[in-house]
Structure 1
Amino acid sequence: MFRLSFALVAIAVLSLINFYSYRRFIKRVDMLSNVHTPLKWGMIAITLCEICYFLVLRLDSLDPFFYALFSAMIGVSFMLFCVALLYDLFHLPYSKIPQDYSRRLFLKMVFDVTMLLLALSYMVKGFFNGMKAPVIKEVEVSIVGLGKEVSVVQISDVHIGKVLGKAFMDELVAQVNRLDADIVVITGDLVDMPVREIGDKLDALRSVQSRLGVYFVPGNHEYFYGVHGIMEHLESLGVEVLSNRSLMIDHRFNLVGVSDMIGKRFDFLPPDLPKAFLHVNNELPTILLSHQPKIVKELKDEKIDLILSGHTHGGQIFPFGLLVLLDQPYLSGLYQHSKTTQIFVSNGAGYWGPAVRVMAPSEIVKLTLKPHV
């Protein structure tokens, strides 16, 4: 029911924004007047592609080529909508300017050309960024009570599935291995497919080089495809799954992992902080792994020095991050949540939906944890 509701809402929203983009932007650009009819049918075709995408999203019956094509249409719709909003916003004051007809016509032509170029560059840059390899983001974090420096490599939101596959995962692990990590953590949404279809796509995880191990917590997308099966598969690859439990790492710090917040909605394997912190040594620093940063809303009196999260994709396509912030308290980067607790939110290494990123580059994060002085 949740999946069907999400699909219907997404289809309704995308249909409305496509209608708005056509009526309030494309149809009002005079130089496109000779091709209004083809463009109208083009917007209808985009909408139909999006309807197909969401109706078969969880059925796994869509060919990878069409999956990539149809999901790309979501990015096109959103970016066109943003430009249409700007067009409306700037068109209002322009329409109030007292000018003679020829001058107004010239100004409108300049304005229309500017907005068309903006739309084109926005989309080209977005798709170009979406196809780029993840960048390495290095962050230093001061931790009270930490004995000596620790390097943590975090990957999140890889979304191995229809489009991103074995080659992407192999290269991702190669990048991770070049960072010489003490510990590697994977903060959810690693896969977008059921375990029976994973095959050898994640086999590179066997070769991750990390002195203190590789650890994983599930994200919401693992729940969509059978979280228990996926966690068992990762365990078989040598990845330690922390689902509502903790470990002491090298007698230097506690590493705690919780299940994803969507478990509360599904009433299945929800995050359980009391259980996760049951065996924590409070004399040592504590790092919490949680896919969604809004786990902070569940905190009570737990002693946590650093939370590592993902889920937001940094907004993925600016300014979509403004909507993400309606659901999540933090979007991207390092924040001081409280006097004693910091939280870092990764943009993620892959993408969900369209292969588009604007002002939110995909990333692998190397956190250098330093003793507080």
Structure 2
Amino acid sequence: MTETSDTRSAAGGPHGAPPGRLQRLMRFVPLIAPVLLWAVPCGVLLHTGQRWPLPVAAAGTALSVLGLVGMPLAMVHGHGRRQRDRAAIVGDTLLGISWVLFTWSVLLGVLLRLALTVADVGDGRDRARLVTWAVLGVCAVLLAWGYAEARRVPRVRRLDVTLPRLGAGLDGTRVVLITDTHYGPLDRARWSARVCETVNTLEADLVCHTGDIADGTAERRRAQAAPLGTVRATRARVYVTGNHEYYSEAQGWVDLMGELGWEPLRNRHVLLERGGDTLVVAGVDDVTAEASGLAGHRAHLDGALDGADPALPVLLLAHQPKFVDRAAAHGVDLQLSGHTHGGQIWPFHHLVGIDQPVLAGLSRHGVRTLLYTSRGTGFWGPPFRVFAPSEITLLVLRAPRGPEAGA
């Protein structure tokens, strides 16, 4: 692995443009969302014709009110200035539970009630109670399964990726991608070690981490991140920052990853040489870096490719998939990203799709550029993954064969 250019730049702060109407409305989301997440399930499950005995209705309503009040308080204590991990665990867990209850109270509540009505099953009270038990049963199963999915060591997803400009000497290069480990309030040091053990079984030439290592400072999450130092690669281990690094002293994470033997690709590149052929491996800071105000932190693709031979194929690490527009404009061959978590808890992927062009998997952009978006190795916040399994990704790079060779 040969190191090349290092580009540093002074980052400017956010522009002082007045907020738009959407931005002003978004300020009210933290106030409105908890009310909807708890009030809707309470209404659907308890107060839409069930006629539960008073103690049952009162107890259920009290639990909903407790969740409505307790969730924001726990989130503030857990993720605010005090950074209390136990409070964060409570708040995050309640957020996941309320999201699943809200989703299935609305979907299953409406559809099942309609089906029971059309089938003329029982009277109104019987149908309402059947809906309640069905929603609670489905939610219990999904939450138990989702928790197990979030805490398990991710499955390895393997795929071959053909790059038309890749030289024959690089054919078969094994690239392992981990991302969005999100070490946080739940101590996952053992999980981290098992992930790294799995990575080491894949005999990678290059191991990449595309950001969002943790929620919290490097000093605070050091024990969970330490196993990353055991990861093996025949050529290099490279890392770029994600948006969550900029919530918690990004430079500290860059420094720690350097200590652990990973090469931070902060708007720079290295060369991977094999069999007489060369691959440019470049990386950029997250797109939110400049707004952080940290000196020298910004997404700067020109700097990352400065000095690289334009005839060589380029593998780019960029945390967010939406950076692919810039990558395509520069003729990058393959971009590796994370950030989306595959939506993490269905149907949150619809909201992710508003901000990102791709949710997961391999996609083509422009004439040349391929993008691989990982669903992430860990989880953020709520310790659940519902219909969005985590992954460790093994990409085997392939040189073209036949008419495509040399194109």
TM-score (norm 1): 0.90
Please state how far the C-alpha of 1:260 moved relative to its aligned partner: 0.5
Q: Describe the SS at the equivalent of 1:335.
A: strand
Q: Describe the SS at the equivalent of 1:368.
A: strand
Please state how far the C-alpha of 1:22 moved relative to its aligned partner: 1.2
Aligned position for 2:22: none
Q: Runs of 5+ in structure 2 lacking a partner?
A: 1-13, 20-24, 402-407
Q: Does 1:361 align with 2:389?
A: yes
Q: Does 1:259 align with 2:285?
A: yes
Aligned position for 2:7: none
Q: Say whether the 8 Å CA contact 2:268–2:303 is kept in structure 1.
A: yes
| Counterpart Cα distance in 2 of 1:333 and 1:48 | 38
Q: Say whether the 8 Å CA contact 1:154–1:184 is kept in structure 2.
A: yes
Please state how far the C-alpha of 1:60 moved relative to its aligned partner: 6.3
Aligned position for 2:251: 228
Q: Does 1:202 align with 2:225?
A: yes
Q: Say whether the 8 Å CA contact 2:266–2:283 is kept in structure 1.
A: yes
Identity %: 26
Partner residue of 2:148 out of 111, 114, 128: 128
The verdict on how the C-alpha distance between 1:274 and 1:171 changes in structure 2, with shifts beyond 3 A counting, is: same
Aligned residues: 370
Partner residue of 1:145 out of 165, 188, 198: 165
Partner residue of 1:46 out of 50, 67, 70: 67
Please state how far the C-alpha of 1:333 moved relative to its aligned partner: 1.1
Q: Describe the SS at the equivalent of 1:284.
A: coil
| Counterpart Cα distance in 2 of 1:107 and 1:203 | 54
Q: Say whether the 8 Å CA contact 2:78–2:84 is kept in structure 1.
A: no
The verdict on how the C-alpha distance between 1:32 and 1:312 changes in structure 2, with shifts beyond 3 A counting, is: farther
Q: Say whether the 8 Å CA contact 1:29–1:112 is kept in structure 2.
A: no
Aligned position for 1:119: 139
The verdict on how the C-alpha distance between 1:361 and 1:300 changes in structure 2, with shifts beyond 3 A counting, is: closer
Aligned position for 1:75: 96
- Which residue identity does 1:144 align to in structure 2? P
Bigger mean CA deviation after superposition, 83-92 or 32-41: 83-92
Could you give the per-residue CA deviations for residues 279-318 of structure 1, whole angstroms, max 9, x where no partner exists?
A: 2222221111011101123346312111100001010011
- Which residue identity does 1:256 align to in structure 2? A
The verdict on how the C-alpha distance between 1:126 and 1:182 changes in structure 2, with shifts beyond 3 A counting, is: same
Bigger mean CA deviation after superposition, 298-307 or 288-297: 298-307
Aligned position for 1:305: 333
Please state how far the C-alpha of 1:258 moved relative to its aligned partner: 0.6
| Counterpart Cα distance in 2 of 1:87 and 1:261 | 38
TM-align CA RMSD: 2.6
| Counterpart Cα distance in 2 of 1:23 and 1:85 | 10
Please state how far the C-alpha of 1:72 moved relative to its aligned partner: 0.8
Please state how far the C-alpha of 1:338 moved relative to its aligned partner: 2.4
- Which residue identity does 1:61 align to in structure 2? R
TM-score (norm 2): 0.83
The verdict on how the C-alpha distance between 1:162 and 1:196 changes in structure 2, with shifts beyond 3 A counting, is: same
Please state how far the C-alpha of 1:20 moved relative to its aligned partner: 1.8
Please state how far the C-alpha of 1:7 moved relative to its aligned partner: 8.9
Please state how far the C-alpha of 1:77 moved relative to its aligned partner: 0.6
Please state how far the C-alpha of 1:212 moved relative to its aligned partner: 0.7
> 1:329-340 maps to which residues of 2 (within 5 A)?
329-340=357-368
Partner residue of 1:177 out of 193, 196, 200: 200
Q: Say whether the 8 Å CA contact 1:246–1:279 is kept in structure 2.
A: no
Q: Say whether the 8 Å CA contact 2:327–2:369 is kept in structure 1.
A: no
Please state how far the C-alpha of 1:241 moved relative to its aligned partner: 0.2
Q: Say whether the 8 Å CA contact 1:7–1:55 is kept in structure 2.
A: no
| Counterpart Cα distance in 2 of 1:24 and 1:111 | 9
The verdict on how the C-alpha distance between 1:88 and 1:201 changes in structure 2, with shifts beyond 3 A counting, is: closer
Q: Does 1:86 align with 2:107?
A: yes
Please state how far the C-alpha of 1:174 moved relative to its aligned partner: 0.8
Could you give the per-residue CA deviations for residues 136-159 of structure 1, whole angstroms, max 9, x where no partner exists?
A: 111211111222221000000001
Please state how far the C-alpha of 1:235 moved relative to its aligned partner: 0.7
